[in-house]
Amino acid sequence: MNELIEKLKKQFDEKLAEVSDENSLEKLRLDFLSKKGQISGLMKELAKVPNEKKKEYGQMINTFKQELTEQFDARREELLKKQEELLIRMTESYDESLPTGNPCGSYHPITLVQRELEDIFESMGFNVEDYNEIVDDYHCFEALNIPKFHPARDMQDTYYLTTPNQLLKSHTSAAQNAILKKYGPALKESGRPIRAVFPGRCFRNEAIDASHENTFFQMEGIMVDKDISVSNLIYFMKTMLSEVFGREVTVRLRPGFFPFVEPGFELDIKCLICGGSGCSSCKNSGWLELCPCGMIHPNVLKYGGINTEEDPYEYTGFAFGLGLTRLAMMKYGVGDIRAFNSGDLNVLSQFVSR
Ligand code: DAH
């Protein structure tokens, strides 16, 4: 029996040394360790052995089988590891000189200005409202005291859809009527003032140049309550603009005409670059035109369901229409409005909120 085992061991060692892949490994297992393999053959030999030797030989065979199994497992491990390493080398070939790290995206400058304004207005108790880009003639014009064929429509030529009476809103004022109707009931029932801002994309049929675009952003705001006056308007505008520019700003109002406000104003701020003495940024006037505004026209409040015919001044309010695009140009010193819609990352990825 000893000789048999010796012989088999020698054969096994030789074959094991030759094993180079999974197939030859499996062949070896079938040859020696499977049910029909050589070790099982040894067990059969055991039957021929005299009884008194059976136990001893049996143990010998078991120990031998264990030894072979251990050697076999070790070789299998080794092979697997080699294969893994080879796979890693094949799949992980990369160029170490390539720049690492993903470039980080950045917010569009108009988004930055919009969010900053939203935060400021929210801190002053305003709701931020969303509104459609496609509106009807009533909301964009008539509810704002701009009847059909009114000359004020000329300045707001926009894009009309083939669906009748549908157009792309030419100003954020188009949301005023809906917002008055939304918050009017709370104002009347519980005396909660209406305070809302509504940023949005606006469209106009414009000839495009460095300061005109057919697509731009505005942020409209309204406040309605009892006894709201121009003083409230000035206070909110001045507080908001001081926050935006990070320093105290001086404002002034000039008369301006917009059919949906009475009186209507152009609000200017004292030039932040020259302090009012005159420079190229303010065209030597010392002032920068920033935001049209005014006291909401009684008709607009009536159409919005706030006041009745009998008492058209029960509630009063102010409205303003900030040009977000223009504000972003001023804040970030962007000289050409076309940069905003250009998709040019060299320009657009430079801005960070303060
Ligand atoms: N909607 C006007 C425009 O785009 C701007 C405007 C003027 C808005 C006066 C207002 C306002 O709320 O009171 O030309």
Q: What is the pLDDT of residues 246-292, one digit of tens each?
A: 889 899 999 999 999 999 999 999 988 888 999 887 889 999 898 99
User: At residue 350, does pLDDT exceed 80?
Assistant: yes
User: At residue 307, does pLDDT exceed 70?
Assistant: yes
Mean pLDDT over all residues of the chain?
Answer: 92
User: At residue 163, does pLDDT exceed 80?
Assistant: yes
Q: Does the CA dihedral 69-74-75-77 come out positive or negative?
A: positive
User: At residue 84, does pLDDT exceed 90?
Assistant: no
Burial class (CB within 10 angstroms; exposed 0-12, middle 13-18, buried 19+) of 243: middle
Of all protein residues, the one whose alpha carbon is nearest to atom 8 of ligand 1 is 321
> CB of 269 closer than 6 A to ligand 1?
no
Residue 329, domain member (yes or no) = yes
Q: Please indicate, yes or no, whether residues 117 and 80 belong to a single structural domain of this protein.
A: no
> CB of 293 closer than 6 A to ligand 1?
yes
User: At residue 303, does pLDDT exceed 70?
Assistant: yes
Rounded to whole angstroms, the Cα distance separating 296 from 264 reads 8
Of all protein residues, the one whose alpha carbon is nearest to atom 14 of ligand 1 is 171
Residue 353 — pLDDT band, cuts 50, 70, 90?
low
* pLDDT value of residue 38: 87
> CB of 220 closer than 6 A to ligand 1?
yes
* pLDDT value of residue 273: 82
**pLDDT winner (highest mean) among 83-87, 195-199, 238-242:** 195-199
* pLDDT value of residue 153: 93
Least confident residue range of 50-64, 166-180, 223-237, 295-309: 50-64
Q: Please indicate, yes or no, whether residues 179 and 303 belong to a single structural domain of this protein.
A: yes
Q: Please indicate, yes or no, whether residues 140 and 264 belong to a single structural domain of this protein.
A: yes
User: At residue 42, does pLDDT exceed 60?
Assistant: yes
Rounded to whole angstroms, the Cα distance separating 241 from 221 reads 14
* pLDDT value of residue 181: 98
Q: Please indicate, yes or no, whether residues 160 and 237 belong to a single structural domain of this protein.
A: yes
Domain boundary, last residue among 39, 65, 92? 92
* pLDDT value of residue 238: 93
Supply the CATH number for residue 302's domain: 3.30.930.10
Q: Please indicate, yes or no, whether residues 54 and 80 belong to a single structural domain of this protein.
A: yes
> CB of 261 closer than 6 A to ligand 1?
yes
Residue 60, domain member (yes or no) = yes
Q: Which domain holds residue 214?
A: 109-351
User: At residue 165, does pLDDT exceed 90?
Assistant: yes
The DSSP-derived string for 147-169 is -TT-GGGGGG--PBPSSTTEEE-
**pLDDT winner (highest mean) among 95-99, 103-107, 143-147, 249-253:** 143-147
Rounded to whole angstroms, the Cα distance separating 114 from 108 reads 10
Rounded to whole angstroms, the Cα distance separating 161 from 104 reads 38
> CB of 204 closer than 6 A to ligand 1?
no
Structural domains counted in the chain: 2
Residue 100, domain member (yes or no) = no
Phi, psi of 288 (to 5 degrees): -120, 130
Residue 320, domain member (yes or no) = yes
Which whole number is the average pLDDT over 151-173? 96
Model pTM above 0.75: no
Residue 104, domain member (yes or no) = no
